[in-house]
Amino acid sequence: MTSRLTIAIQKSGRLSKESLALLKACGVKFSINDARLIAHSTSHNIDLLRVRDDDIPGLVMDGVVDLGLVGENVLEEARLEREATAMNANFVALRSLEFGHCRLSLAVPKEAQERGLAQLNGARIATTYPRLLQRYLQQQQIAARSVVLTGSVEVAPRAGLADAVCDLVSTGATLEANGLVETDVVFRSQAQLIQTAELSDPNKLALINQLLPRVDGVQLAKE
Ligand code: ATP
Ligand code: ZN
């Protein structure tokens, strides 16, 4: 029996639609049953694993899946986290994908925006990405504490939980709606196609080599 290539994508969220669209544009056919974690391709020896985006880097680094489509923000945070805890953080970055563009930015309440980055010394900053935030703060020689929230980061200052936020931004509308002003870009991100580091199965490698030029074709058409 030939082995099946497993690809992890976000189940439901900002990357889901375009991840599926990319596979479809590459000629990989699926019929998705929303209740199911796994979808088998009807055109290739490929299985799709639909999970939370936060789980994708670990699944690839641990070799549980062969490929993953994930935002660089989530990927780099996971890599730093795993390095710090002596876990395997290896993967192969295959392609940057032309979707999921966003930036991780520092933002402060409107009334505090004139005081600049130095004001963050001693501040509490709410974020979902403590490692990316701390790396940036170290580079800027700022000593601030992070308050880790996995959601609703933008309401933390108003709720009295933090003095500032370090959150994902694409248009800035969410920040504005919460009375926050973007002051610094900490990290720029887009979706990435990544591969597990130790892949030796010749069938899987052949399939990846067949898919990559198609991915490149789709990316070129988008530019
Ligand atoms: P999950 O349930 O899978 O954990 P989530 O709520 O963490 O979902 P989404 O909000 O769907 O994640 O965002 C997924 C990814 O989309 C982000 O990690 C980021 O790479 C990208 N993205 C693009 N634009 C934005 C944006 N404006 N805000 C948040 N994420 C964005
Ligand atoms: Zn997530």
- Cβ contacts of 112 within 8 Å, gap of 6 or more: 119, 163, 164
Alpha carbon distance 50, 67 (integer Å):
12
How many whole angstroms from 142 Cα to the centroid of ligand 1? Answer: 27
Say if ligand 1 is within 6 A of residue 72 CB: no
Q: List CB-based neighbours of ion ligand 2 within 5 Å.
A: 53-54
How many whole angstroms from 59 Cα to the centroid of ligand 2? Answer: 14
How many whole angstroms from 55 Cα to the centroid of ligand 2? Answer: 8
How many whole angstroms from 56 Cα to the centroid of ligand 2? Answer: 9
Domains annotated on the chain, with CATH? 5-100+190-222 (3.40.190.10), 102-189 (3.40.190.10)
Return the pLDDT at 106: 97
Ligand 1 atom nearest the C-alpha of 14 is: 11
Return the pLDDT at 113: 80
CB half-sphere exposure, 175, CA atoms < 13 A: 22
Say if ligand 1 is within 6 A of residue 71 CB: yes
Return the pLDDT at 1: 66
How many whole angstroms from 74 Cα to the centroid of ligand 1? Answer: 9
CA distances from 70 to 15, 49, 116, 150, 152 (A): 8, 13, 32, 17, 21
Whether this model's ipTM surpasses 0.95 comes out as yes
Q: Provide the 10 A C-beta neighbour count for residue 85.
A: 8
Answer whether residue 58 shows pLDDT above 80: yes
**Shortest-distance Cα residue to atom 17 of ligand 1:** 71
Predicted confidence (pLDDT) per residue in 16-56, tens digit? 999 999 999 999 999 888 888 999 999 999 999 999 999 99
Say if ligand 1 is within 6 A of residue 19 CB: no
Alpha carbon distance 175, 221 (integer Å):
32
Q: Provide the 10 A C-beta neighbour count for residue 50.
A: 20
Instruction: Please name which ligand lies nearest the alpha carbon of 182.
Output: 1
Say if ligand 1 is within 6 A of residue 73 CB: yes
Residue 148 main-chain phi, psi, to 5 deg: -90, 120
- Cβ contacts of 80 within 8 Å, gap of 6 or more: 131, 132, 135
How many whole angstroms from 172 Cα to the centroid of ligand 2? Answer: 19
Predicted confidence (pLDDT) per residue in 110-167, tens digit? 988 877 777 899 999 999 999 999 999 999 999 999 999 999 999 999 999 999 999 9
Predicted confidence (pLDDT) per residue in 175-200, tens digit? 999 999 999 999 999 999 999 999 99
Return the pLDDT at 116: 75
Read off the pTM. Answer: 0.96
Alpha carbon distance 57, 62 (integer Å):
8
Say if ligand 1 is within 6 A of residue 97 CB: no
Alpha carbon distance 52, 13 (integer Å):
8
Alpha carbon distance 40, 62 (integer Å):
22
Element housing 209 (H / E): helix 202-222
